[in-house]
């Protein structure tokens, strides 16, 4: 009997709740090339129970590819990925689905499923377990949390982009995995739903889930993440609390665009904005700190 046969034939192992701060999903020295081009280079990353980890970086930094590696969609060329302390391949597909849920940037559906049917698919890993008795309650809760209950009976393909994104997230929430891996969950949403979805991520973390969210919006990362990992050219340029990692100098260097980091005058919260010299004017080039040829003034 092969290892794969053994995984499929054994009853699925239902996960126990991880203690606060425990590593649920981890990448160690992960490297990967796609089409002969290096995309990830020696990445170390830990997604911990009870915390929100935001992965940010410019286009092409490797954010979505890293999420795919953590989810098991892209085997790394070097390094390892573990879930609950064991390699990805040690879990059956059902066991893995009980431990991590994945929201992709784009969700395509070819059949005329309703929103409720799509969300109920998230309960499939729990079939045959005592948790199956709670399916209706969990699905209803996920529909309400993502603000899609009002169109629960509509066909998924009839929804707008933002509505589809929220319905797809509801499916992942209904799955009730120990770790949520969310790729740009706010990309097609209005500002109110952006705040609501990131608030949900914080709520799930408060309940003990491990949450990784890939974001382009640095302001949302600063506001909702416990830890921010900045990717640059496939490497982790910095990782830590938002106030320590999201500095003007670092972000300007990574994004190759002048960025300012301010403190809110009332709350002290970190605010990240592009520098603008004036209405309609491009920003002046940032001085190169390595340039020693420029004349100094006193």
Provide the number of structural domains found in the chain.
1
Q: Does residue 280 sit within a domain?
A: no
Q: Does residue 161 sit within a domain?
A: yes
The whole-model pTM stands at 0.88
Range of the domain at 37: 20-256
CA dist list (Å): 159 to 150, 171, 235: 12, 15, 37
Distance CA 202, CA 3 (A): 37
* Under 8 Å between Cβ of 271 and 261: yes
Mean pLDDT by 10 residues, the chain (298 residues): 52 84 97 95 97 97 96 94 94 94 83 94 94 95 96 93 93 96 93 95 96 96 97 97 96 96 89 80 55 40
Helix (H, G, I), strand (E, B) or coil at 244: helix
Distance CA 63, CA 79 (A): 17
Quick one: pLDDT at residue 292?
41
Paired residues of 31 in beta bridges? 78
Q: Does residue 14 sit within a domain?
A: no
- 182: domain CATH number is 3.40.50.300
Q: Does residue 7 sit within a domain?
A: no
Distance CA 225, CA 198 (A): 9
Q: Does residue 10 sit within a domain?
A: no
Q: Does residue 5 sit within a domain?
A: no
């Amino acid at each position: 009997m092969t290892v794969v046969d053994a995984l499929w034939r054994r009853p699925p192992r239902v996960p126990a709740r991880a203690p606060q701060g425990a590593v649920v999903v981890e990448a160690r020295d992960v490297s990967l090339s796609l089409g002969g081009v290096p995309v990830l280079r020696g990445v170390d990353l830990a997604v911990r129970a009870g915390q929100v980890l935001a992965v940010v970086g410019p286009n092409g930094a490797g954010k979505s590819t890293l999420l795919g590696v953590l989810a098991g969609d892209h085997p790394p060329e070097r390094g390892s990925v573990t879930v609950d302390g064991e390699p990805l391949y040690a879990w059956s597909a059902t066991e893995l689905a009980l431990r991590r849920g994945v929201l992709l940037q784009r969700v395509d559906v070819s059949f005329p499923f309703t929103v409720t049917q799509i969300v109920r698919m998230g309960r499939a890993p729990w079939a045959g377990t005592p948790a199956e008795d709670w399916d209706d309650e969990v699905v209803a809760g996920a529909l309400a949390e993502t603000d899609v209950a009002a169109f629960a009976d509509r066909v998924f393909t009839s929804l707008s982009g933002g509505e589809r994104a929220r319905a797809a997230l509801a499916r992942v929430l209904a799955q009730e995995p120990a770790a949520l891996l969310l790729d740009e969950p706010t990309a097609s949403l209005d500002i109110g739903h952006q705040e609501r979805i990131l608030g949900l991520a914080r709520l799930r973390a408060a309940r003990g889930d491990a949450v990784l969210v890939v974001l382009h919006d640095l302001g949302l990362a600063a506001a909702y993440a416990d830890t921010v990992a900045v990717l640059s050219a496939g490497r982790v340029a910095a990782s830590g609390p938002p106030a320590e990692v999201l500095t003007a100098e670092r972000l300007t260097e990574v994004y190759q665009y002048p960025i300012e980091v301010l403190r809110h005058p009332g709350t002290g919260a970190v605010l990240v904005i592009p520098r603008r010299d004036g209405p309609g004017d491009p920003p002046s080039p940032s001085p190169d700190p390595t340039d020693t040829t420029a004349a100094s003034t006193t």
